[in-house]
Structure 1
């Protein structure tokens, strides 16, 4: 009896196993694609919004717009005396106020321990001096008759000292009080600006050129303070017609605050400090 027999590969019982493997592979591919979709979806979502969990378990969403979609809210400038000007209130708390001194007082401490700034002539001096100078100029103190010579009222001086220790120059301060406090700042330094020079060296100087060479022996801090004080006195003399203070007058009232040294011939007699008067 003759017949036809058809033989096929992969037939019979083995066909079920291969189908199962193919189905498993396809399912695995779908799972991988689904995982990629989830990752891409999460990435897109994170680029669109940010979720912040607060302590109260409140979720807030902050939308991130296009970089070209901006709005000008305020104009902020930086002032070397007062810091940032025009800063919104919500940002001011993040920037602490600049402390004028490492101690509780701006008087009676060395300039090295204080916050310093450069003046318009390039002298690095304590910022509190620049603040007082700025207020003195803005209130036309240089034109006040007898400026740096007339003594202020003690009652107002104590109040102003307290404000200056906080880095604040009070509004509408009496210019004579302000000038007196500038002299007091120099007078109450731990060591005078000119204490690095001996009285003998000063007495041996007879010309302006010799004085200029002598002050070059001062340290950089004292040199900057001396230059600042001389520039201030020069500005006062420029207004001599109004304030009646010529070069000799301003030097006579300012110089005793620049040194704590005593005259070698007057140490035993208890006389006052040496006064250097350099009049140009």
Structure 2
């Protein structure tokens, strides 16, 4: 028995799928047949590979997880770039936990503190299965002395990590452009981001390497700013950590590493608590 081609075909509607909003453009008569909650390859948007997340293109053509673009857009809308200490000041754990749960459900709450948004962006990078810069040999990162060296090395990253790094660098550059209001220069923002871009088990090694990563990020930020405004950005706008400022850099990075560790521990504690509660509930039933 032969099966022929369809003879009565109609184009009912053109729909697109969005991780946070489900099917867009769906006819009203078909909505009851389609789950309202958007399905996903992962139940979480934190701590999972970008391969299991919906990605969108940013203004530079980078394909990055949509969650990052949503957090970035809301941060900008709320004036986060001009908020003093953005990405440095930590938000309350209770609010961050609540927003995490909402994001995992495909919802971005309306009222969010800018420091919570900034903290979640850092947390997203920190909780990746592998750090964005982990594929780069540490010795090569340490050998970078100029902005060109850093850019050349960044070009060796796999496409997904290269896109994430470029997105993050230009986010940090946006922050630095508002330094007069937020008090965050390239050195400051690179310092708070550095511990979140790599993963090392040994705390001391992580701290030592974070100094090099901070310089790596700082030079990429300065390069991005110079490409935007060649005549207004110079290396003297931030401290040089290659000599006498090493101790100060280590001190600040030590605080940043400790903050990242504390935030990771708090997240793990929250997850474990939720798991225990779920098991207890199941046992009661």
Q: Which runs of 4+ in 1 moved over 3 A?
A: 76-101, 267-273
Structure 1: distance between partners of 2:24 and 2:84: 34
TM-aligned CA deviation for residue 198 of structure 1: 1.5
Q: Which runs of 5+ in 2 are unaligned?
A: 1-13, 223-285
Contact 2:23 2:38 in 1 (8 A): no
- SS of structure 1 residue aligned to 2:99: helix
Contact 1:237 1:245 in 2 (8 A): yes
| Change over 3 Å in CA distance of 1:187–1:273 after alignment to 2 | farther
Match of 1:17 in 2: none
Aligned pairs for 1:89-104 (under 5 A) are: 89-94=28-33, 96=35, 99=38, 101-104=40-43
Give CA-to-partner distance per residue, 1:244-276, whole Å, 9 cap, x none.
1111111110111011136xxxx5956636221
TM-aligned CA deviation for residue 95 of structure 1: 5.3
Task: Please say if 1:164 is aligned against 2:99.
Answer: no
| Change over 3 Å in CA distance of 1:144–1:94 after alignment to 2 | farther
Task: Please say if 1:133 is aligned against 2:72.
Answer: yes
TM-aligned CA deviation for residue 153 of structure 1: 0.3
Aligned residues: 201
- Structure possessing the higher relative contact order (Cα contacts under 8 Å, 6 or more residues apart): 2
| Change over 3 Å in CA distance of 1:271–1:213 after alignment to 2 | closer
Structure 2: distance between partners of 1:179 and 1:169: 14
Match of 2:165 in 1: 226
Point out the structure with max Rg over C-alpha: 1
TM-score in terms of structure 2 length: 0.64
Structure 1: distance between partners of 2:81 and 2:152: 30
Match among 53, 56, 62 for residue 114 of structure 1: 53
Task: Please say if 1:274 is aligned against 2:209.
Answer: yes
TM-aligned CA deviation for residue 90 of structure 1: 4.0
Q: Which runs of 5+ in 1 are unaligned?
A: 1-75
Match of 1:198 in 2: 137
Structure in which a larger fraction of residues adopt helix: 2
TM-aligned CA deviation for residue 101 of structure 1: 4.6
Give CA-to-partner distance per residue, 1:128-167, whole Å, 9 cap, x none.
1111111111111111110000001001111100001112
- SS of structure 1 residue aligned to 2:51: helix
Structure 2: distance between partners of 1:160 and 1:195: 28
- SS of structure 1 residue aligned to 2:150: helix
TM-score in terms of structure 1 length: 0.65
Match of 1:61 in 2: none
Match of 1:48 in 2: none
- SS of structure 2 residue aligned to 1:242: helix
Match of 2:113 in 1: 174
Structure 2: distance between partners of 1:271 and 1:230: 21
Contact 2:21 2:38 in 1 (8 A): no
TM-aligned CA deviation for residue 104 of structure 1: 1.4
Aligned pairs for 1:73-92 (under 5 A) are: 82=21, 89-92=28-31
| Change over 3 Å in CA distance of 1:102–1:247 after alignment to 2 | same
- SS of structure 2 residue aligned to 1:250: helix
